[in-house]
Structure 1
Amino acid sequence: MNRIDKKFRELKNKKKPAFIPFITAGDPDLQTTKALILEFEKRGADIIELGIPFSDPIADGPIIQASYYRALVKGLKVAQILDMVSKLRNESEIPIVSMVSYSTVFKGGCQVFIEKACKAGLDGLTIPDLPVEENNEIFQVAKEKDFKIVCFIAPTTTDQRKILITQKSQGFLYYISVVGITGVRDKIPEDVLQNIKSLKQITDTPISVGFGVSTPDHAKTIGKAADGVIVGSAIIREVEKYTNEPFEKLVTKVGEFVGELVLGAKG
């Protein structure tokens, strides 16, 4: 069984949502990325969303874009990220979903990319620039290997398209809480909880909510209705804040912040 499915089944029995922190691979370096993943797991994170830096991210706001730039200017390669994940698997079985541009997957072919991802120890992908109508090839390759392709649903998604997406998404559904890009927000849109409730009427696939979830209170609100709570920009902002501090301080301080978010989500 895929680690993602196993984790959601475990949490369903406990009646708790998954907490899913997003982290950019290689920001500020892969040693720190690996240490942060282990620290997040220690603090109670359930699944990791690992961003593979790309020069033109279409869904990300300035905070995550800046983290991608910091990683890319150092010459970071996908092969190095997969190698880091492979080494991490000697210490942890936490599920890892990677956010990646389809151009990165397409370059060497879906089959090759997924084979390499599986061998390294990744459990799935989110591909924000691949419409669900065009993901048949990668969906089929992934299904054969029990590798998950997580699809997005936005507040503006039509009812007909929601059905298509819920039928195809694997592992969990990624519900985008806002109309727009990732980023820190002051409040959660008022319609999020109702939209989650509506989605649950058409699918049994776990629903995780991201984009704009920034504080423990946000996480608590989302955690009462969704199966998973995703926080990205607020965590990356903490990483950036401590980038010039000693390695141990960065890991500890960002870990403390994630711990607060975990407590909010599961409170």
Structure 2
Amino acid sequence: MSRIASAFASAREENRAAVIPYLTAGYPDPERYLQISREMLEQADLLEIGLPYSDPLGDGPTIQSSGDAALKKGIFTAQVIELVRELRQSTDKPLLLMTYINPVIAYGSQRFFANFAAAGLDGVILPDLPPDEDPELVKEARAAGLDTVFLLAPTSTDERIKTVTSYISGFVYTVSVTGVTGARDQLPDLGPLVERIRRYTDKPVAIGFGISGAETARQAARVADGVVVGSALIREIQAGRNPAALLAEIRAAARVE
């Protein structure tokens, strides 16, 4: 069983959804990033690492600003590989990279996947790649030993769900809204979407885009296997607060009653 599958299984045994924080690699600076990530991993089941990118079309202003700050500090692909390597030395929990496809291609896809896998990465989330548009690239990631994760949305048709899930080996990343990332006060009813996804795959389903705190985490945990939170944690960092405290609240709220 992979680290990713094991993490979801362990959370399920504890009657809760898996908790998946997102942090932009190297933000606010490499040293603080490593410190915050290690604190997050005490509460998290998996960690999503965002590769800073100049044109993050799926990210809202909070994550965009953290990516811009990281890029200005020189955090590019090579530096993120080293951050993954350092994190792996202090945890056995799953580490996933969220990256847009351009950095993968610019670096060289086979080298990209191989170098990240060697550093200790478990999987890649590719939000802007329709997997059926480049099956060979998906095969390259798998050949390097990385699980692949793709996104589905409330607008996804059954045909699209069937197609996309056939390329997923980690978990299904379900976005709560047809928009960009960002904390929200309420989530729409995602139960019907999750039910449709489960007709086509037995992989865990995680909900992201909109988890802001305990209440939205509770809503997501009622229907899904995992909750992804990013913007709300980065806002805590920007405000000079410890995001681990918010993540602890989210973990407690993710318990299935």
Whether these two folds match at TM > 0.5 is yes
Asked if the contact 2:131–2:138 (Cα under 8 Å) also holds between the matched residues in 1, the reply is no
**Quick one: which amino acid aligns to residue 34 of structure 1?**
L
Distance 1:15 1:142 in 2: 32
Who is 1:55 aligned against? 54
SS in 2 for 1:88: helix
Give the TM-score, by structure 2 length.
0.95
| CA deviation profile, 1:59-116 (whole Å, cap 9, x unmatched) | 0011100111111111212211111211222211111111111111111322111100
Whether 2:133 is the aligned partner of 1:144: answer: no
Matches within 5 A, 1:90-105: 90-105=89-104
1:263 aligns with 2:241: no
Paired with 1:262 and 1:106, the residues of 2 have a C-alpha distance of 36
Q: Alignment partner of 1:68: what SS?
A: helix
Residue aligning to 2:243: 254
* Distance in 2 between residues matched to 1:47 and 1:225, nearest whole Å: 19
CA change 1:13–1:262 in 2 (3 A) is closer
Partner in structure 2 of residue 156 of structure 1: 155
Counterparts of 1:232 and 1:28, CA distance in 2: 14
Q: For the residues of structure 2 that align with 1:65 and 1:153, how far apart are their CA atoms?
A: 21
1:28 aligns with 2:24: no
In the other structure, the counterpart of 2:188 is 189
**Alpha-carbon distance in structure 2 between the residues aligned to 1:10 and 1:145:** 25
Which segment drifts farther, 117-126 or 75-84?
A: 75-84
Letter in 2 for 1:125: V
Q: Is the 8 A contact 2:49 2:95 kept in 1?
A: yes
Contact (CA 8 Å) 1:30, 1:81: kept in 2 or not?
Answer: no
Tell me if 1:215 matches 2:219. no
State the TM-score, normalized to the length of structure 1. Answer: 0.92
Question: Shift of residue 149 of structure 1?
Answer: 1.2
Q: 2:223 aligns with which of 222, 225, 238?
A: 225
The answer on 1:39 being equivalent to 2:39 is yes
Q: Secondary structure in 1 aligned to 2:137?
A: helix
Identity fraction in percent: 37
Stretches of 4+ aligned residues off by more than 6 angstroms: none
The question of 1:19 aligning with 2:19 is answered yes
- What is the alpha-carbon distance in structure 1 between the residues aligned to residue 107 and residue 186 of structure 2? 41
| CA RMSD, Structure 1 to Structure 2 (Å) | 1.4
For the Cα contact (< 8 Å) 2:11–2:45, is it kept in 1?
A: no
Secondary structure at the residue paired with 1:266? coil
The equivalent of 1:110 in structure 2 is: 109
Partner of residue 85, structure 2: 86
Give secondary structure in 2 for the equivalent of 1:156: coil
Q: Which amino acid aligns with 1:203?
A: T
Stretches of structure 1 that go unaligned for 5 or more consecutive residues are 243-249
* Cα distance in structure 1, aligned partners of 2:144 and 2:73: 33
* Count of aligned positions: 256
Could you give the per-residue CA deviations for residues 175-201 of structure 1, whole angstroms, max 9, x where no partner exists? 0110111111121013x1221122222
Q: Which amino acid aligns with 2:247?
A: V
